[in-house]
Amino acid sequence: SQTIHQWPATLVQPVGSPLSLECTVEGTSNPNLYWYRQAAGRGLQLLFYSVGIGQISSEVPQNLSASRPQDRQFILSSKKLLLSDSGFYLCAWMLLMNTEAFFGQGTRLTVV
Amino acid sequence: SQELEQSPQSLIVQEGKNLTINCTSSKTLYGLYWYKQKYGEGLIFLMMLQKGGEEKSHEKITAKLDEKKQQSSLHITASQPSHAGTYLCGADMGSNYQLIWGAGTKLIIKP
């Protein structure tokens, strides 16, 4: 069956520290992968998406980067976290537009 | 302004009552998704609509897409505590890869 794993669930990091959030997908091949950030009372803001290994598209200029080292692995990173990076981060995958999008359980990041 | 407007922002409903959440766009929607989210968790897929006038139901939840494909509604009949959460609509507005999302409607069910 198709599943998506995202970890960690919660993270508290000091300002200026690095970040690595990982997302892996099982049960499918060549998915489109997405990183979203969700602010309280707001919709999902698309940060990055990837249509294949090594292919990353950035939607919002920011302090974050993404990588896709393997077909079903998507990593969100930062070299130096800012307070404004705090938020709820969601990983998702879908095969094609107008098919179901599957979401991970999310990571609550607090930068202190 | 947001491309996809969702209303109301929040809703408090007595258990057993019906309710409707709306999702509106000024552009044609090529696909419209409804998801439910419990606080601090991922999104759970409810339904997807693509055709003008399409209507889908699952248990006590019905979603409709209007004929012009610019507005969708989510209707819950005889609400239960298990319906509480945040409902988000997402839409394909012609992009090859990304969905646009509404801000969500927080639903609280009063016992």
Measure CA A72 to chain center.
12
The pLDDT tens digits of the residues spanning A12-25 come to 999 999 999 999 99
Residue found by looking up tokens 């598209």 in the block: A57
CB pairs under 8 A between A and B: 64
Q: Is the pLDDT confidence value at B53 over 80?
A: yes
CATH architecture of A3-111: Sandwich (2.60)
Cα gap B42→A33, rounded to integer Å: 15
Cα gap B31→B72, rounded to integer Å: 10
Contacts of A102 in chain B (CB under 8 A): 45
Amino acid B40: pLDDT? 85
From 2.160.10.10, 3.40.630.30, 2.60.40.10, 3.30.70.120, which CATH number describes the B4-89 domain? 2.60.40.10
B101 touches A: beta carbon within 8 Å: yes
A43–B45 CB contact, under 8 Å? no
Q: In the numeric block, which tokens belong to residue B86?
A: 């945040």
Q: Where are the domains of chain B?
A: 4-89
Contacts of A59 in chain B (CB under 8 A): 98
Q: Which of B30, B50, B104 sits opposite A43 (nearest CB)?
A: B104
Contacts of A92 in chain B (CB under 8 A): 43
Do the beta carbons of residue A34 and residue A91 sit within 8 Å? yes
Closest residue in A to B42 (Cα) is: A105
H/E stretch holding A108 reads: strand A107-111
Q: Which residues of B3-14 are buried (b: 16+ CB within 10 A; e: fewer)?
A: ebebeeeebebe
SS3 B34: strand
The pLDDT tens digits of the residues spanning B19-49 come to 999 999 989 999 999 999 998 889 999 999 9
Per cent of chain A over pLDDT 70 is 97
Closest residue in A to B36 (Cα) is: A103
